[in-house]
Amino acid sequence: METNRKVTLTYNEGKDTTEFPVLKGTLGRDVVDIRTFAKTGMFTFDPGFPATASCESSITFIDGDKGYLYYRGYPIEQLAEQTDYPEVCYLLLNGELPNAEQRAEFNRGIMRHNMLHDQLMSLFKGFRRDAHPMAVMVGVVGALSAFYHDSLDITNPEHRRISAHRLIAKLPTIAAQAYRYNKGLPFSYPKNGLGYAENFLHMMFSTPCDEYKVSPVIARAMDRIFTLHADHEQNASTSTVRLAGSSGANPFACIAAGIACLWGPSHGGANEAVLKMLDEIGSVENVPAFMEGVKNKTHKLMGFGHRVYKNMDPRAKIMKQTCDEVLNELGLHNDPQFKLAMALEKIALEDPYFIERKLYPNVDFYSGIVLSAIGIPVSMFTPIFALGSYRRLD
């Protein structure tokens, strides 16, 4: 919203001035509208965009200093406690939570799309069995662009809706199939009687020989991981999707570009990096030497620090609680790797190096531990982040 305030820039040794309007958002800091800045004959320089908004959005709000994350005005803590992931998708898409009827209709709509075209299945076979599942995700999601010529007009709301539904529905199927292909397991079809997270776990772990039952605690943990990763303002992968889509490119190809961006260890690859780091440290006795290396900047403490959250990551708090619930449910509190993770967390939280730099555990520190406890292989961590990261297509 425009205000009547302006920011004046004086340059050229005081000879020239230009005024820029100040805009006010519903929440958060004021924004200086610099769209006319180029007229000064200069550029702005803001690597990583810490002070730059690339678009107007009413979807997600983050206050990194206070540790707030809101989807459509709802605090993430409330959503994680009282809703499930499909409801959160509905909220992100439509701006409000669904009532019971809208929820049932939305779930039916998603279920209608959760199968994969049979021709798409043959694509998996083109990959090496040992390909990283993120490589398979990038390839197969990109290939969806060749299958849905009926709905590729990004300016058409109905096309955007159906494409979003297809992505929400098919990404778990694609991710689970990427895992099963890697393992040499037969494909497991979606089961419509199950909840979203339960169905994903069913597609990952069921075999034709056994009845597969998912514990409600584990299904809830999976659902929370999806919810906590569903949106995060203009982060690197969302910005990638927007940039790719700004040319009017095929939406599925744009999402594939976002998945590629998410793959990196500074972003969605961090929870995978946490588990690799725990493996490298090996045991609690090696923690002090590892921490010395962190302070000498030989390596980073993965799962710590965040570009935006400088006091705490609100998602980490929820995930820590979920982590406790899962470790209790599975009787894993004394597992050496989880004990090591907890020792590392305690030491880092008390160490001046981390306190001074405001480095706290982020969501990926705990989500890596939760996923590992559930039995999800490390290489599947980032695909799970990718399938939770719902991307609004406008």
Residues designated catalytic? 267, 306, 364
In terms of CB distance, is 92 or 154 closer to ligand ACO?
92
In terms of CB distance, is 122 or 298 closer to ligand ACO?
298
# residues contacting ligand ACO (CB under 6 A): 18
- CB of residue 181 to ligand ACO, shortest distance in Å: 26
Separation CA 86–CA 111 (nearest Å): 11
Neighbouring CB atoms inside 10 A of 129's CB total 10
Stretch that binds ligand ACO, among 9-17, 147-155, 266-274, 324-332 (CB under 6 A): 266-274
- CB of residue 235 to ligand ACO, shortest distance in Å: 7
Stretch that binds ligand ACO, among 21-29, 60-68, 336-344, 359-367 (CB under 6 A): 359-367
The CB-side HSE value for 316 (13 A sphere, CA atoms) comes to: 19
Q: What DSSP designation does 304 have?
A: B
- Which of residues 245, 364, 366, 373 is near ligand ACO by CB under 6 A? 364
The CB-side HSE value for 294 (13 A sphere, CA atoms) comes to: 23
In terms of CB distance, is 64 or 98 closer to ligand ACO?
64
Q: Does 267 bind ligand ACO (CB under 6 A)?
A: yes
In terms of CB distance, is 198 or 272 closer to ligand ACO?
272
Stretch that binds ligand ACO, among 11-19, 208-216, 319-327, 361-369 (CB under 6 A): 361-369
Separation CA 298–CA 313 (nearest Å): 25
The CB-side HSE value for 155 (13 A sphere, CA atoms) comes to: 3
Measured CA to CA in angstroms, residue 108 lies from 9, 82, 175, 372, 387 at distances of 54, 21, 21, 31, 19
In terms of CB distance, is 233 or 329 closer to ligand ACO?
233
- CB of residue 199 to ligand ACO, shortest distance in Å: 24
Residue of 105, 99, 103 whose CA lies nearest to 86? 103
Q: Does 362 bind ligand ACO (CB under 6 A)?
A: yes
- CB of residue 145 to ligand ACO, shortest distance in Å: 26
Separation CA 146–CA 55 (nearest Å): 29
CB 212 within 8 A of CB 160: no
Q: Does 276 bind ligand ACO (CB under 6 A)?
A: no
Following CA atoms 179, 182, 188, 191 in sequence, which dihedral angle do they give, to the nearest 10 degrees?
10
| Apex 223 CA angle, 338 and 336, nearest 5 | 5
Identify the helix (H) or strand (E) that includes residue 72. none
- Which of residues 58, 156, 266, 328 is near ligand ACO by CB under 6 A? 266
Residue of 315, 299, 309 whose CA lies nearest to 265? 299
Measured CA to CA in angstroms, residue 106 lies from 90, 164, 389 at distances of 7, 12, 18
Measured CA to CA in angstroms, residue 339 lies from 167, 176, 368 at distances of 37, 29, 14
Separation CA 351–CA 25 (nearest Å): 37
Q: Mask of contacts with ligand ACO, 290-309, x by CB under 6 A?
A: ----x--x--xxxxxxxx--
In terms of CB distance, is 134 or 214 closer to ligand ACO?
134
Q: Mask of contacts with ligand ACO, 215-254, x by CB under 6 A?
A: ----------------------------------------
Sign of CA dihedral 257, 391, 67, 314: negative
In terms of CB distance, is 85 or 304 closer to ligand ACO?
304
Stretch that binds ligand ACO, among 20-28, 100-108, 171-179, 263-271 (CB under 6 A): 263-271
Q: Mask of contacts with ligand ACO, 329-358, x by CB under 6 A?
A: ----------------------------x-
Name the residues that contact ligand ACO, by CB under 6 A.
266-267, 270, 294, 297, 300-307, 357, 359, 362-364
